[in-house]
Chain A
Amino acid sequence: MIDSTFSADLTRRAFLGRSAGGIGSVALASLLNDQLQAGQGSLPNFHHAPKAKRVIFLFMAGGPSHIDLFDPKPKLNELDGKKIPQKLLKDHQQFALIRGTPNLKGSPYTFKKHGQSGTVISELLPHLSKVADELTVIRSMHTDTNVHDPGVNFMNCGTLLGDRPTLGSWMSYGLGSDNQDLPAYTVLTSGVSDGQPLLQSFWGNGFLDSRHAGVPFRNSGAPVLHLDNPKGVSTQDRRRELDLIQWMNGRQHEALGDSEITTRIASYELAFRMQASVPQLADLSKESEKTMEQYGADRVKPSFARNCLMARRLVESGVRFVQLYDRGWDSHTDMDREHRRQCGAADQPIAALIADLKQRGLLDDTLVIWGGEFGRTPVAQVMGKTWGRDHHPHGFTMWMAGGGMKPGLTYGATDDFGYHATENKVHVHDLHATILHQLGIDHKRLTFRSQGRDFRLTDVHGHVVKDLLA
């Protein structure tokens, strides 16, 4: 369906798009925009009316356990300690680390129905349970690998190698930025210090140009690299320098007529504005005591909680895509300690973020996504007195909130063991298609030509899961 306010423009651009030899109209709009001004939004180019304008992706790096958080399995509990049935192992060759035939492991945690929707959530997430009615829980996710970094790459860019643009890059490319003073795509990191490495490809721009790369905000020093002037250079000094730089650039433009020079002038001005706007954004001193308590965040000390609050501030300022990496979910051998630690740090701020977005009227058009690169096995990895779970790609849970998703819905199912997704399966490509759909983008039509081929986030796959949409 095309929203009538956009249709006239869409037709014009769509024509141009097709005559461009197949590149999508959105992509073309972005190209045209390059000519006008770098970083300008291109909102009139939706394929259909969008439900969400921005995305917050809460990435639980390492892989949270669906079986212990969202997908209770009474049968599994019953069979606790028994060997895993061979039939489950038929279609896959090997666990990531477990060798031999391991024993099933039920979840020691209590699950309850919450809210009016009766969404089932584990005791490990008491705060999230209070906003259960906002969630759209997908219990039937599946992905293509049980190795960490290819898994994260896959969740971000739809390929294992990580040589293609990530979700946020595609969004930035397709929709531009809503804020002239900030990057369209930012990345915030937190979690234990011995977690999985964070690779450049996780927020990479692939073959798109580097304006579409995610900008990682740093936890120490200035939030953006080289944001601070060198020692002894005041804002006024810098302004004076810039004035002369721009005067020289202006002369150069006059002499040569190269529009790239005007873009350069704009870039330097934006850099100057960023030097003021980014620290302001990262400065939480104006946030009320109540808000800080609600999130459980410290104003200065880095944490996932602080990042959740930052995420709200970023989307409020028009940043389109914010990805939070929370590390430490890879609980191989001490599930109870590690998942309690992770949930303890993440549960309250996530619930606070949802409530806060809702209270500010932002939840309606902000899509919040929660999940990891895969789930965890229903079999135990035992180490002395403690146990954990291995990597599991065949069935796991993710949830979304806001952004036009059907709230209170629990969708899809895994088998009795939580092993395979069986009912209403949702592949990562389908998730990507659905996310883009909510943003007003037809995943088949957001393309970029590289090496003679029109590439998409979803490659040649992906279906919009309509059942999930409000």
Chain B
Amino acid sequence: MSSHSAICRLALVVGLLLSAPGAWAKLEFNRDVRPILSDKCFACHGFDAETREAGLRLDTEEGAYSFKDGVQAIKPGALQESEVWHRITHSDEDELMPPPESNKSLTEGEKEVLKRWIEDGAKYQPHWAFVPPKKRATEVVSGARNPIDQFIGARLKEEELSFSPEADHTTLIRRVTLDLTGLPPTPQQLDQFLDDAAPGAYERLVDRLMATRDYAERRAQDWLDLARYADTRGFADDKMREIWPYRDWVVRSLHDNMPFDQFTIEQLAGDMLPNATDAQRIATGFHRNAPQARGQTYPVEEYRLKGVTDRVNTTGKVWLGLTLECAECHDHKFDPISQRDYFSLFAIFNNTEHSGKGHGQGGPTMKHHYTRGGKSEDERKKLEAELNKARAALPEQHLLGDDGLLGQWDRVHPDAGNEKFNLTGDLTITARIKTRQKVASVLSKYDWRGKQRSYVFGIGGEGEKEAAPGHLFFWVSSRTDPFDGVSLYGSQPVNDGEEHRVSVVFEAGKSVRLFVDGVEDKSARVIGKVPGTIAISNRPLAIGVGYRNDAGAKAYRFEGDLRDVRLYGRALGKELGSGEAGERVAELMAALGGGKSEGKEVSVPVMREMSKPRDTFIHLRGSFLSRGDQVGPAVPRILANEGEAQAGNRLEFARWLVNGKNPLVARVVVNRFWQSYFGHGLVRTSDDFGSQGTPPTHPDLLDWLASEFVESGWDMKHINRLIVTSATYRQAARISSVHREKDPNNEMFARMPRVRLPAEQIRDQALAIGGLLKPLAGGPSVFPPQPDRYWEDRDLPGKWVASKDDDRYRKSLYTYWRRMALHPTMELLDAPARAVCVSKRTTANLPTQALVTLNAPVFVESAEGLVKRLLLEPGDLKARLDLAFRLCLGRRPAPAEQIKFIGFLENHPSKSKDAAWVSVATILLNLDETITRP
């Protein structure tokens, strides 16, 4: 926790100042003084002119030294002539600064620091993060493997600490494998590394790991937290959006080691690149990840603007490490970012189309074709051959009978009667159709424009985004207005000019199913909740034609053969299907992703610039209703370099960020890399490099890494490799009494910290150990089982239909990420819902988490999977125990552990051998050692 480290740091400074003047007794403004001024004074005497008191500003030298009414706030070197000193030590509460009611009182230690500083000449320094990084030489220290260690080692020496010894090889391989791939080392990987006695074995291991897709997937996880990537739009309706191609783009780019400058430009402005490729446009999904209320949420403009502010704030955090959001309502109180700066950035992001109407996504999308992830061409061909065979084996269709039949028609009929067809419960509609139309009504008692909804069955929908031309659709609503019910969309086209028997069966409150030619369409998409009742519409029943805001049916007229249209007032069952043969066809079609061998098409949210930019105004006090000055696009003044052309749009802004001159970007990015391995960054507040953030513990190392990053051509793998091959990273993790005493928070890195695995890795590791993990890459998000009624009990729209087969066991990266109700395994283990950009996860250590890894089905299955693996292992108890330990912990059991576990197995009360082993597997999956990166 960052604030905690600040305590220790300050205590250290104050302690040194108050006792023996040591190396730290020489004050440094940025390190020692600025944090105090920033925290206690800047709110009223800082950058924000609006709230500046008495015209005094203490954030600049000029302000602090200036005279007012003959009084000087700070006179360098002259304590008694500095008004500030008198005011912060005043005995009169009315004169005392900061005012007692502000709850910002200075401690004795802080006063002492300010006293020293004034006496020493009150020298100011520009805020460190706004000064471009420079590579500085460092002394050579023993034990160093690369420059990182020179900086860390030099500082350790200064603090009278030293490196911990190198961790043993089994710890090292487990550490680096978990860190780089998110998975534990396999026994083969263990052997390969442990048997490699030649020099450079560790580096070769690192190279092997970094070349895997697992590496890219693990790094993508951190980036997706920043990108607030999720599969839903947020807010109450929290609908699905198909933005997963963006997730796959991130994985692929990281796998290819795309240079970070390109990685930046494509995500922020790929759509604006000349001849932008589809991939570059998909990359812009980065900023379409912003939560988006449904278009009709009032007031529309406010919710559009929420998306824009989210883009500005996220960009600030991810690339600049600045809390720009503070400047939305007023000038930043701590950092030199004005409200005008904020809205100049706002102007850059304010030009994306936004429909703001209806239930749509409210923004531009692009079509993206894909073939189902994970299926190889061979597998697909095999399935297709089987499908053709199964189709040929389909029997003739059953006769449907007249039980519950309410009507039968063989032609288009705009008014087939009314009251008789006011169905409120179960129903079935079937028809024989032959058409090439993309949109056509089959049967309708439904008029959404006229607010007379009931039920409708047809082809291609009525203009809504979810519909697919030529595919069947069925809607039923429990309210005439607004829609409140379920929509069903077929997975395959039926407008191929061949005759098809199409049917839909609605079971009130239970299910809705689609059949084509006697085969249930199990890949049909169900959106919303199946209602318990159907609303009564005053529109007459229409056959082969529908309504458009008019009591008479005229729209969506069916062209082609329409016959044997039947409406039943009950849910038909088996007679619609073709028995087992039909089931088999349905299964094969589902396995092929809906029977379309050429794959599917999704609409991916992307950025698209409007041809004419919107006007942008400053929002006074942050309210979009109070317009201030109009502003044009610009970068924050403090970051603008002389002689540079002003960034006039998103693309120019993105290029400006990574032109190598920005003092923040490279630092912010390498700091997060560091954080990913060491649990915290060199700057602990990884999302705040401003004056309220903590200054870097190792400024020269941070600058060296940042410079190296830019010089290497923004090579991400290079920096990650430097970090994990350093001696600093290879240290043992043992915490000694010296560490506890001198550096309890490990700010000096005299040891490697142990880090509890992130939620995804806890699950993925268990699946891998249990031999269940399916290493399939990419594609639509999957639905590993979650507790029954988890969404329903919260009345969330939609239904979690657990994935089958391989998709149950994919990496957690591919789990459907619902912002308003994350999969509980992820949520309970501290994964963020990603409603906003997350730079660092918080990690708790809770009993509810213990219950997950002890009892949740996926962990129970993993334990059972592990036992299966163990029982296949030839050899005795000891050999199996060896394997179990190696799979879970990357090491063999110590003698005492072996005795204990064998005793446990032999004395297990259960008669079944398996049960005893499942117990052992549960134990191993729940050890602190197992769920912690060593």
A positions within 8 Å CB-CB of B: 15-16, 18-24, 27-28, 31, 34, 38, 93-94, 96, 146-150, 161-163, 183, 189, 193-201, 204, 207-211, 215, 218-221, 224-230, 232-233, 236-238, 240-241, 244-245, 247-249, 251-252, 255-258, 260-261, 263-265, 267-268, 270-271, 274-275, 327, 444-445, 449, 451-453
Q: A264-B928, A271-B854 are in contact. Are A225 and B828 (CB under 8 A)?
A: yes
17 contacts between A and B (CB under 8 A): A19-B10, A20-B10, A21-B39, A22-B39, A27-B3, A94-B299, A146-B298, A197-B796, A204-B833, A224-B851, A247-B900, A248-B897, A258-B733, A258-B735, A260-B845, A451-B323, A452-B688
Closest partner residue, chain A, to B529 (CB atom): A194
Q: A226-B854, A256-B734 are in contact. Are A94 and B298 (CB under 8 A)?
A: yes
B297 CB within 8 Å of chain A: yes
Tell me whether A197 and B1 are in contact in the complex, defined as CB-CB below 8 angstroms, given that A258-B754, A260-B754 are known contacts.
Answer: no
CB distance from B411 to the nearest CB of A (A): 34
> Could you tell me if A248 and B847 are in contact, using CB atoms closer than 8 angstroms?
no
Looking at the assembled complex, report how far the CB atom of A25 sits from the nearest CB atom of chain B, in whole angstroms: 10
Q: Is the CB–CB distance between A228 and B927 below 8 Å?
A: no
Which B residues between 89 and 116 are near A, CB-CB below 8 angstroms?
A: 103-107, 109-110
Asked whether, in the complex, the Cβ of B851 is within 8 Å of the Cβ of A249, the reply is: no
Known: A226-B856, A451-B317. 6 other contacts (CB 8 A): A19-B10, A21-B10, A195-B795, A199-B821, A230-B860, A452-B690
The residue on B at minimum CB distance from A391 is B298
Cβ 8 A contact of B756, one of A96, A248, A260, A274: A260
- List residues of chain A with CB within 8 A of the CB of B334: 452
B 837-858 contacts with A by CB, 8 A:
842-852, 854-857
B915 on the interface (CB 8 Å rule)?
yes
Q: Please pick, from B103, B797, B821, B848, the residue contacting A271 in the complex, using a CB distance under 8 A.
A: B848
Determine the chain A residues whose CB is within 8 A of the CB of B3 once the complex forms. Answer: 20-21, 23, 27, 31, 449
Chain B 716-749 residues near chain A, CB threshold 8 A: 733-736, 740
CA distance A451 to B822 in the complex (A): 24
- Of the residues A18, A93, A146, A230, contact of B855 by C-beta under 8 Å: A230
Query: Which residues from chain B contact A31 at a C-beta distance below 8 Å?
Result: 1, 3-4
CB-based contact B685/A210 at 8 Å? no
Q: Which among B241-249, B389-397, B785-793 touches the partner chain?
A: B785-793
Residue B820 CB within 8 A of the other chain: yes
Closest B residue to A230 by CB, please name it: B860
For B604, list chain A residues within 8 Å (CB).
none
User: Is B205 part of the contact surface with A, judged by Cβ < 8 Å?
Assistant: no
Question: Which of B822, B909, B927 touches A200 (beta carbons < 8 Å)?
Answer: B822
B854 contact set on A, CB distance < 8 A = 226, 229, 238, 271
Interface Cβ pair total, 8 Å cutoff: 238
A226 interface neighbour in B2, B733, B846, B855, Cβ under 8 Å: B855
Q: Tell me if B901 and A449 are in contact (CB < 8 A).
A: no
Assembly CA distance A162 to B291 (angstroms): 12
* Cβ B236 vs Cβ A199 within 8 A: yes
- Most chain-B Cβ atoms within 10 A of its Cβ — which of A16, A215, A233? A233
Query: What is the CB-to-nearest-CB distance from A382 to chain B, in angstroms, rounded to a whole number?
Result: 13
Would B847 and A162 count as touching, CB distance under 8 A? no
Task: Determine if B736 and A257 form an interchain contact, defined as CB atoms under 8 angstroms apart.
Answer: yes
Per-residue CB contact flags for chain B residues 526-537 toward chain A (1 = under 8 Å, else 0) read 000101000000
Task: Please tell me the number of chain B residues within 8 Å of chain A, measured between CB atoms.
Answer: 104
Query: In chain A, what residue has the closest Cβ to B687?
Result: A451
Tell me the smallest distance from the CB of A125 to a CB of chain B, in Å.
25
Q: Are B855 and A197 in contact (CB under 8 A)?
A: no
Most B CB within 10 A of own CB, among A197, A240, A274: A197
- A340, chain B: closest CB distance, angstroms: 20
User: For B10, what are the chain A residues with a Cβ–Cβ distance below 8 Å?
Assistant: 19-21
B238 within 8 A of A: yes
CB-nearest residue of chain B to A325? B794
- B236 with A149: CB separation less than 8 A: yes
| A225 with B928: CB separation less than 8 A | no
Report Cα–Cα, A6/B247, bound state, in Å.
Answer: 53
Residues of the A chain whose Cβ atoms lie less than 8 Å from the Cβ of B846: 38, 210-211, 267
Are B323 and A257 neighbours in the complex by a CB distance under 8 Å?
Answer: no
Residue numbers in B under 8 Å from A195 (CB-CB) = 795
Q: Is A249's CB under 8 angstroms from B795's CB? A: no
**A19 nearest in chain B by CB position:** B107
Question: Contact at B323–A453, with CB atoms within 8 Å?
Answer: yes
Interface contact B928-A261, CB-CB below 8 Å:
yes
- Ranked nearest first, the 9 interchain pairs of A and B with the lowest CB-CB distance are A452-B692, A271-B847, A149-B236, A271-B850, A198-B794, A257-B735, A270-B847, A452-B688, A226-B855
Chain A hits for B923, CB < 8 A: 241, 244-245, 248
Interface positions, chain B 130-162, Cβ under 8 Å from A, are none
Given the known A-B contacts A20-B3, A149-B236, are A193 and B323 also in contact in the complex, defined by CB atoms under 8 Å? no
Report B750 CB to chain A, min CB distance, Å.
13
Does B842 lie within 8 Å of A197, measured CB to CB?
no
Interface residues of B in 28-47 (CB under 8 A from A): 35-36, 39-40
The answer to whether B795 touches A256 (Cβ under 8 A) is no
Instruction: Answer whether residue B827 sits at the interface, using C-beta atoms and an 8 A cutoff.
Output: yes
The chain B residue with its CB closest to the CB of A234 is B909
Q: Quick one: CB contact mask for B899-930 with A, threshold 8 Å, 1 for yes? A: 01100100011100001000100110011110
**Closest partner residue, chain A, to B931 (CB atom):** A264
Cβ 8 A contact of A240, one of B14, B103, B106, B919: B919
Query: Min CB distance, A420 to chain B, in Å?
Result: 18
Shortest Cβ distance from B797 into chain A, in angstroms? 7
Question: Quick one: closest B residue to A215, CB to CB?
Answer: B848
User: In the complex, what distance in Å separates the CA atom of A194 from the CA atom of B299?
Assistant: 24
List the A side residues contacting B922 at CB < 8 Å. Answer: 241
Q: Is the CB of A201 within 8 A of B795?
A: no
B795 touches A267 (CB 8 A): no
Selected from B1, B795, B901, the residue in CB contact (under 8 A) with A327 is B795
Query: In the complex, how many angstroms separate the beta carbon of A384 from the nearest chain B beta carbon?
Result: 10
Question: With A198-B795, A228-B855, A248-B897 in contact, is A93–B821 under 8 Å at CB?
Answer: no
A201 to B832, CA, bound (A): 11
Interface string of B416-434 (1 = CB under 8 A from A): 0000000000000000000
User: Inside 8 A of A229's CB, which chain B residues have their CB?
Assistant: 854-855
Q: Which residue of chain B lies nearest to A244 when distances are taken between CB atoms in the complex?
A: B923
> A21–B844 contact, CB under 8 A?
no
Rounded to whole Å, the gap between the CB of B155 and the closest CB of chain A is 22
Residues of B within 8 A of A94 (CB): 298-299
- Flag if A252 contacts B787 (CB, 8 Å): no
- A197 and B794 form a contact (CB under 8 A): yes
Residue among B39, B736, B795, B929 making CB contact with A196, cutoff 8 Å: B795
Q: A198-B796, A207-B842, A248-B923 are in contact. Are A163 and B835 (CB under 8 A)?
A: yes
Q: Please tell me if the beta carbons of A248 and B927 are within 8 angstroms of each other in the complex.
A: yes
B190 at the A/B interface (Cβ < 8 Å)? Answer: no
Bound-state Cα–Cα, A268 to B845, Å:
10
A327 to B787, CA, bound (A): 22
Contacts of B836 in A (CB 8 A): 161, 163
Contact present for A22 and B326 (CB under 8 Å): no
Residues on A with C-beta less than 8 A from B2 are: 449
Q: How far is the CB of B850 from chain A (nearest CB, A)?
A: 4
Tell whether, in the assembled complex, residue B11 and residue A19 are in contact, meaning their CB atoms are under 8 Å apart. Answer: yes
Q: Which residue of B lies closest to A460 (CB)?
A: B329
Set of chain A residues within 8 Å of B908, measured between Cβ atoms: 240
Is B374 an interface residue when CB atoms closer than 8 A count as contact?
A: no
Residue of chain B at shortest CB distance from A274: B847
Contacts of A215 in B (CB 8 A): 848
A218 touches B238 (CB 8 A): no
Contact at B926–A245, with CB atoms within 8 Å? yes
Instruction: List B contacts of A240 (CB < 8 A).
Output: 904, 908, 919
Pair A200/B756 contact, Cβ less than 8 Å: no
Residues of B within 8 A of A209 (CB): 830, 842-844
Whether A96 pairs with B298 at a CB distance below 8 angstroms is: yes
Please name all residues of chain A whose beta carbon is closer than 8 Å to the beta carbon of B197 when the two chains form the complex: none
Q: Does B645 contact A (CB under 8 A)?
A: no
User: What's the minimum C-beta distance from A34 to chain B, rounded to whole angstroms?
Assistant: 8
Which residues on B sit within 8 Å (CB–CB) of A193?
Answer: 792, 795
From residue A58, how far is it (CB to closest CB) to chain B in Å? 18
